[in-house]
Amino acid sequence: MITIGYDALRRPEVDASQIRLGETGLEELIQWLRESGQPQSLETLTYQYIAILREKVLEEKER
């Protein structure tokens, strides 16, 4: 039997509307900080955090 709008019901993994600043992508940021091997400034972390969020959303958009 058909299921109307099946794809539409499948929520994207990271839709921007689901992003919670300070929660979404924080684990990736901490992982990046660990890999950087040295303390980082808040400015650098903010820039990196934006890059992580952006990547998550755009990947989903392109998928």
Partner 1 sequence: MEKTALEFHGSEEERHLAEEIFRLMALQGAAVALDTPIRQSLRNLADYFCRKNPQWDQEMAARRIEAALGKNSHIFAREEREGEVIYMTTRRGNPAMATPAPSLPPRVRHPAPENATATPRRRPVRRPPMSPFWVRTAVRQMEPVRASAVSAPPAEPTLPAVEEVAISAVTVREKPATEIRLPDGTVIDLALETAEIFALHGERIGRILKEALERDFRLISFGDQWYLEEAVEHLSKGRLAEVRRYIQEEGVPLSDETILGDLFFKTPRDPDYGLWAFSLNARLLREKKDFEFVGVPGANLWAVKGLPAIGTRLLKASDLGQDYAFLLEEPPVPEPPAQLEHFLTFYEYRYGVLPYDAQARAFFPPPLLEEQRSAYLTFEVPQHYEAYTVELRYPSGNRGGWLWGLEELFHSSLVPGALILIARTERPDVYTLQYIATDAQERRLLVYDERKERYVFDEITFYCEVEESLLLSEERFGRLRNSKPLSPAQRRRPADVVAHAFTLIGKEKDGQFRATLEELFPVVNIERPFSMAFLQRVLHEVDVFRPADEEGVYLYIPGAPEAEEA
Could you list the residues that contact partner 1 (CB under 8 A)? 1-8, 12, 14-17, 19, 21-23, 26, 30, 33-34, 38-43, 45-47, 49-51, 53-54, 57-58, 60-61
Question: Minimum Å distance from CB 32 to partner 1?
Answer: 11
Question: Minimum Å distance from CB 27 to partner 1?
Answer: 10
Q: Give CA–CA dist 62/57, Å, rounded.
A: 9
Of the CA atoms within 13 Å of residue 52, those in its CB half-sphere come to: 21
Question: Minimum Å distance from CB 56 to partner 1?
Answer: 8
With a CB cutoff of 8 Å and minimum separation 6, the contacts of 9 are 3
The 8-class DSSP code of residue 42 comes to H
